[in-house]
Amino acid sequence: MNDLTCLIIGGGHAGLAALQAIMETTRGMANGRRIRFVLLDKQPGHVRKVLLFRPAVSGEEIMIPWTHWFPEGVEFVQGTVTSVDSGEKRIRYTNAQENEARIHYDLLVVAVGSIVRRPDPDQGGIALTDPQVAAHIRERWRANLQKAADERNLKERKRLMTIAVAGAGISGIETSAELILAMREEASRLGLNSSDICVYLLNAQERLFPEGPEKVGRKLDRTLSEIGVTVVHNRKVIREEAGVVTFSNGDRLAVGLCIWAIGLIPNPALRSMGLPLTPEGQVLVDECYRVKGAPGVYSIGDCARIVDPRTGKADQMTCKEGGMQADRLGKIVLADLEGRPAPVHKSYKDLFCIGLGENRGLVWTRQWGLDMIITGKLGWKARKLGWDLASRLR
Residue 97 burial (10 A CB sphere; 0-12, 13-18, 19+):
exposed
CA distance 236 to 222: 21
CA distance 164 to 237: 10
Question: Residue 211: in which H helix or E strand, if any?
Answer: none
Angle formed by the axes of helices 131-150 and 170-189, nearest 10°: 40
For residue range 37-71, list pLDDT tens digits in order: 999 999 999 999 999 999 999 999 999 998 887 76
Residue 369 — pLDDT band, cuts 50, 70, 90?
confident
- For residue 1, pLDDT over 60 is answered with no
Tell me if 56 is assigned to some domain.
Answer: no
Assess contact for 345 and 325: CB atoms under 8 A: yes
What is the three-class DSSP state of 256? coil
Residues 377 and 391 in one domain: yes
User: Alpha-carbon Rg of the chain, whole angstroms?
Assistant: 23
Among 215, 240, 262, the domain-final residue is 262
Tell me if 55 is assigned to some domain.
Answer: no
Residue 367 — pLDDT band, cuts 50, 70, 90?
confident
For residue range 94-151, list pLDDT tens digits in order: 998 999 999 999 999 999 999 999 999 999 999 999 999 999 999 999 999 999 999 9
For residue range 202-229, list pLDDT tens digits in order: 999 999 999 999 999 999 999 999 999 9
Dihedral angle computed from the Cα positions of residues 51, 305, 82 and 136, in that order, rounded to the nearest 10 degrees: -20
List of long-range contacts for 337-342, beta carbons under 8 Å, 24+ apart: 337/26, 337/30, 337/31, 338/30, 338/31, 342/288
Q: How many Cα atoms are found within 13 Å in the side-chain-facing hemisphere of 359?
A: 2
The residue type of 142 is R
Tell me if 299 is assigned to some domain.
Answer: yes
CA distances from residue 369 to 209, 308, 346, 364, 365 in whole angstroms, order as listed: 18, 20, 19, 13, 10
How many structural domains compose the chain? 3
The string of DSSP letters for 334-393 reads: HHHHHTSPPP---PPPPEEEEE-STT-EEEEEEETTEEEEEEHHHHHHHHHHHHHHHTT-
Tell me if 247 is assigned to some domain.
Answer: yes
pTM: 0.94
For residue range 278-335, list pLDDT tens digits in order: 999 999 999 999 999 999 999 999 999 999 999 999 999 988 899 999 999 999 999 9
Assess contact for 202 and 164: CB atoms under 8 A: yes
What is the three-class DSSP state of 301? helix
- Number of residues written out for the chain: 394
Residues 252 and 275 in one domain: no
For residue range 154-210, list pLDDT tens digits in order: 999 999 999 999 999 999 999 999 999 999 999 999 999 999 999 999 999 999 999
Residues 325 and 374 in one domain: no
**Structural domain boundaries enclosing 316:** 4-50+62-116+265-348
Tell me if 57 is assigned to some domain.
Answer: no
> End-to-end distance of the chain based on CA atoms, in angstroms?
36
Give pLDDT, residue 394.
64
Residues 137 and 258 in one domain: yes
Give pLDDT, residue 153.
97
* Average pLDDT over all residues of the chain: 94
- For residue 392, pLDDT over 90 is answered with no
Q: Which of 383, 386, 385, 367 is nearest to 375 (CA)?
A: 383
Residues 173 and 254 in one domain: yes
CA distance 321 to 50: 13
CA distance 122 to 184: 31
What is the three-class DSSP state of 20? helix
CA distance 16 to 19: 5
For residue range 324-353, list pLDDT tens digits in order: 999 999 999 999 999 999 999 999 888 999
Residues 137 and 251 in one domain: yes
